[in-house]
Amino acid sequence: MPLTDTAIRLAKPTGRDYTLKDGDGLALFVGASGAKNWHFRFSWAGKQPRISLGTYPEISLKEARELRDQARALVAKGVDPRIHRRQERKAALLAASNTFEAVFRSWRDFKALSLKAGRQSTLSQVDRIFKKDLLPTLGPQSIFEITRADLLEVLRKIERRGAHTTAEKCRTWFNQLFRYAMVEVELQSNPAADLDIVAMPKLRVKHNPFLRMEQLPAFLVKLRHYGGDLNTQLGLRLLLLTGVRTGELRSAVPEQFDLERSLWIVPPENVKQLQEQMRKKNKDCTEIPPYLVPLPRQAVAIVRELLRAKSPAQRYLLPHRSKPRERISENTLNAALKRMGYKDQLTGHGIRATVSTALNELGYHKDWVEAQLSHADTNQIRASYNHAEYVEQRRAMMQDWADRLDQWEMQGLQADPEMAPSMPRDRRLPPVPAVEPLPIRDGHVESAPAEVAAGEGDELERSPVLTLVARKDQRPQPVLTDIQRERALVLPAP
């Protein structure tokens, strides 16, 4: 006979345990002390195990019957109610301890093992964007409770302010984070899948502004008379003379320069394209050849001056003004361009586009220009060449480019003779030295170990032997011009 609420209330302790049956395996267990517990007994693998459904009166008769029916449904589906309960309890514990922020911290630490730190690195972007846009909303929520709608809400908020690139990065990171959670915390599904299907269309990319060749004479005159820190001026000149990225310039240290051979040897971990190769091919920096930047004589003179003025505490070629152990800020270079009147007309990275556009317009071989700028090559055959290729062709090309810059600067001065004189300096560039071309044998430039340039008083180190592959159609080495000699007189050695 089924139980009633009245019968349950009247069930008194008798000094011994007894059971009041309800039906379909449900029963009320009354202990010797009077405690009342709901039990459900079921058939499983030839046995009659039982499971507790809670205590009375916390669980009423009606609620106990509902729990019994749920347990019977599990048994009918071949699921052991005891195992199902343990899984639910585990999930509840995981939900409480695995908030979105907790899983993010774990995922971020995992990514840090394969990502390079730095102000403009992917890792710094992850930290900045999650802190600003994602953690305030999603951080406290359980990773198990976050839905695709929750993710869409924060992404649409980012898109509404026009930050489409940031939203695209967030979609990628969401997908990586939730796939990580599926393995680490047993998340059952990935709510970030297919979010790109509903992404707002990106606006047209606005590239870094750059200058055309006809604008360079006026720019060079303004750079010559720049009244700020001399290191900043020399840094901008190096960008213009070499075409390297601002990050490669800011990360440059004295040990990278072999001035005897007029080479800047940039390690692969400092080069954007080589970093991508290292990640894709799962190689360390010793397995990827360095990025070789041939230096024109004007660049060699600048590097020699920077090394001469190097302080004992200084680590980088271009140090931070107030923190000599740190490198110059990218904002410093861009701020200098703004003070020169080039706001929205030129940036530090835009100088690369200036160099690239000019060299291509001057008719230089595309491969030489691409190799000088360390651009990724979509041609698989050409992409197999390393960064030691075309060094001698690039050396002649960049020397010609540097000579043209000198000529344009003199033209700019002649066009504006009333230009204010240079600000007084406590340092002057030494005369531009002549550099002998490297010997070529059988189409290869063979170089013996050379001394790496260092600052005054520093111990000289030996650089490794490099074999530089050169094309047989290389151009002759330009000679010192009258313009260069005049420049050396304008900027006498100290």
User: Which residues are catalytically annotated?
Assistant: 245, 272, 349, 352, 375, 385
Q: With contact defined as beta carbons under 8 Å apart, do 406 and 412 qualify?
A: no
Q: What is the greatest pairwise CA distance in the chain? A: 118
CA 157, 159, 162, 164 torsion: positive or negative?
Answer: positive
Single-letter amino acid, residue 256: Q
Q: What does the radius of gyration of the chain's CA atoms come to, in whole angstroms?
A: 36
The pair of structure tokens assigned to 469 is: 């592959």
CA 176, 177, 178, 184 torsion: positive or negative?
Answer: positive
Q: With contact defined as beta carbons under 8 Å apart, do 17 and 2 qualify?
A: no
Whole-angstrom distance, CA of residue 264 vs CA of residue 303: 10
Nearest to 404 by CA among 294, 296, 476: 296
Whole-angstrom distance, CA of residue 336 vs CA of residue 142: 47
Q: With contact defined as beta carbons under 8 Å apart, do 404 and 278 qualify?
A: no
DSSP annotation of 449 reads -
* Segment 17-25 long-range contacts (CB within 8 Å, at least 24 positions apart): 22/61, 22/64, 22/65, 24/68, 24/69, 24/72, 25/68, 25/72
Phi-psi region of 162 (alpha: psi -120 to 50; beta: other; left: phi over 0): left
The pair of structure tokens assigned to 248 is: 């490669």
Beta-strand runs (E) in 26-155: 26-30, 36-41, 50-56
- Could you tell me the CA-to-CA distances from 204 to 54, 201, 345, 348 in Å, in that order? 62, 9, 18, 21
The pair of structure tokens assigned to 317 is: 């070629």
Single-letter amino acid, residue 398: M
